Amino acid sequence: MSTETLVPYDEALARYEPVLGIETHIELGTNSKMFCGCPTVFGAPPNTQVCPVCLGLPGALPVTNRAAIEGIIKIGLALNCSIVEWCRFARKNYFYPDMPKNFQISQYDEPLCVEGHLDVEVDGQSYRVEIERVHMEEDTGKSLHVGGTTGRIHGADHSLVDYNRAGIPLVEIVTKPIPATGDKAPLVARAYATELRELVRALGVSDVRMEEGSMRCDVNVSLMPIGSATWGTRSETKNVNSLRSVERSVRHEIERQAAVLDAGERVVQETRHFQEDTGTTTSGRSKEEAQDYRYFPEPDLVPMSPSRDWVEELRASLPELPAARRGRVRGEWGVTEKELQDIVNAGALDLIEETVQAGAEAAAARKWWMNELSRRATAQGVELTALPVTPADVVRVSRLVAEGTINDKLARQVLDGVLAGEGTPDEVVERRGLKVVSDEGELATIIDEVIAGNPDVAEKIRSGKVAAAGALVGAVMKATRGQADAGRARELIINKLTG
């Protein structure tokens, strides 16, 4: 690999306009594979989820999974696509050891969903990403490259193939070229991938885990001189497997291609691979010798002709989509886009919404999930949803605070107790004896003791330095093990010394 010259990002953008294109593969979370009854569990021991069909044994034939077709139609509808009235599967012919039949069942010139769009927002500006097509295909097996030093394909002695993944339904979503994103191109690419992931997750048709490969992006980038109307030659960075990498790969390609063009050379149309460690892309197969996939209609599968009734039934079954939901929630909870984004990123949107629906104030629900529980989840390295606390628990905690039974500080201890498996919030309050000291007589006695024990501070307050009361409040809280209402204690102290 030769070292490549790069042009600093801002400089590149001063001279060139990037055009993006993104192809996303999403594995559907069906129970069985696309064309056979094999299970689709991730991480199963090798070749334990195979049958004559997905192994491509002589004589075996595919039969289409209804749930997969419903899944892709839902994705198409959510992306504002038209669902075609009639289409066929096609065979894409090429030889590769991880592809059992040496052709992939895909769709060629007759995709199931066409002409849609997805709006994404970057720094307060909205970009419409046009969707060219959404089509159905099957995944391949996975090769383990043995020998050599890197575990990579180059230099390997041989490979070991596991066909568990072969035949898992794969939806491919192809955008039209995305122009006019300027220096926001990497962020638009990332925002698109993020929004698509949220959308598909909301539809419940895939777990869209990029780290497990159930969502993978191929990112096309080309540059044209600013003011030019002719698009440049594009590179295609394959199998980018995190949102951050989507952004970085676009950024790197802009810097790299700008250098190529600055040097008066032409960009090679090729497949590139993103290197996580360096944030760069490296050259893969050149597409100079065009592939000849010899597509033709798959004779083993009959055409699909989704009835309009079926499509409308599926449309009616769509859940509230992320963009609409975010708009609603922002209004209802009074949060900014940024705050909402943090909630989404923390995986707290559903939890907060359930908590609010169960009767908590939005602000309180957000505070407990985002400030307290999210921090604990991060500390434990688990998903927020994996914590042993329910929206109902959070509702109860916020209600106890609102009623004055506990204060925020005690509430944190209550949550700790719930997380530690000590029972419901009420049980934790009871067992740990966490109620606020609300008996005025008892509190007055404690205050008297504190004043007596801190004559200097008391004197300051008497002489008008009311701010010094904080020290005495702290002492009261300490004496009551946090169970006093700090506001009331402060009031009583000041009244006593200045009143």
Q: Residues 194 to 233: which contact another protein by CB under 8 A?
A: none
Using CA atoms, how far residue 127 sits from 122, 178, 248, 427, 453, in Å, is 8, 9, 19, 51, 65
Shortest Å distance, C-beta 9 to another protein = 28
Size of the site for another protein (CB under 8 A): 76
By C-beta, is 50 or 389 nearer to another protein? Answer: 50
Q: Which of 13, 22, 26, 50 binds another protein (CB under 8 A)?
A: 50
The residues in 433-462 that bind another protein, with binding defined as CB under 8 A, are none
Identify which of residues 226 and 302 has a Cβ nearer to another protein in the complex: 302
Give min distance, CB of 401 to another protein, in A. 46
Residues in 84-143 at the binding interface with another protein, rule: CB under 8 A: 86, 88, 91, 93-97, 100-103, 143
Q: What single letter denotes the amino acid at residue 335? A: V
Of residues 238 and 330, the one with the C-beta less far from another protein: 238
In the complex, least distance from residue 33 CB atom to another protein, rounded to whole angstroms:
9
Residues in 283-342 at the binding interface with another protein, rule: CB under 8 A: 284-285, 290, 292, 294-297, 299-306
Q: Output the smallest distance, CB 131 to another protein, in A.
A: 24
CB of residue 101 to another protein, shortest distance in Å: 5
Distance between CA atoms of residues 90 and 110, nearest Å: 9
160: left (phi over 0), alpha (psi -120 to 50) or beta: beta
* Beta carbon of residue 429, minimum distance to another protein (angstroms, whole number): 47
Nearer to another protein, 300 or 337 (CB): 300
Per DSSP, 480 falls in state T
Q: Residue 236 in 3-state DSSP?
A: strand
Strands 270-275 and 235-240: parallel
- On whether the CB atoms of residues 456 and 489 are closer than 8 A, the answer is no
Q: Residues 405, 409, 411, CA angle at the centre, nearest 5°?
A: 55
Q: Which of 292, 355, 297 is nearest to 329 (CA)?
A: 355
Q: How far is the CB of 310 from another protein (least distance, A)?
A: 9
Among 4, 23, 25, 60, binds another protein (CB under 8 A): 60
**What is the contact mask toward another protein in residues 153 to 182, using x (rule: CB under 8 A)?**
x--xxxxxxxx-------------------
Q: Provide the minimum distance between the beta carbon of 233 and another protein in the complex, in angstroms, as a whole number.
A: 20
Rule CB under 8 A: say whether 59 interacts with another protein.
Answer: yes
Tokens, residue 65: 């999974």
Contact between residue 164 and residue 55 where contact means Cβ atoms under 8 Å apart? no
The nearer residue to another protein, 40 or 374, going by C-beta atoms, is 40
Q: Binding marks (x or -) toward another protein, 266..285, rule CB under 8 A?
A: -----x-x----------xx
Residues 358 and 112: their CA atoms lie apart, in Å, by 40
Tokens, residue 236 = 């295609």
Give the contacts of 129 (CB within 8 A, at least 6 positions apart): 22, 117, 118, 119, 120, 175, 178, 188, 192
Both structure tokens of 409: 């500080």
Which string of DSSP letters, residue by residue, matches 292-354? ----EE-TTSPPB---HHHHHHHHHT----HHHHHHHHHHHHT--HHHHHHHHHTT-HHHHHH
> Which lies closer to another protein via its Cβ, residue 160 or residue 324?
160
Pick between residue 158 and residue 308 the one whose CB is nearest to another protein.
Answer: 158
Q: Which of residues 237-266 bind another protein (CB under 8 A)?
A: 238
**CA pair distance 38, 164, nearest whole angstrom:** 9
- In the complex with another protein, which residue's Cβ is closer, 71 or 417? 71
122 pairs with which residues across the strands?
A: 125
Q: Site mask, another protein, residues 388-417, x = CB under 8 A? A: ------------------------------
Our CB check for another protein shows the closer of 18 and 76 to be: 76
Of 85 and 449, which has the nearer Cβ to another protein? 85
Among 26, 68, 78, 450, binds another protein (CB under 8 A): 68
CB of 207 to another protein, least distance (A): 16
Three-state secondary-structure class, residue 92: strand
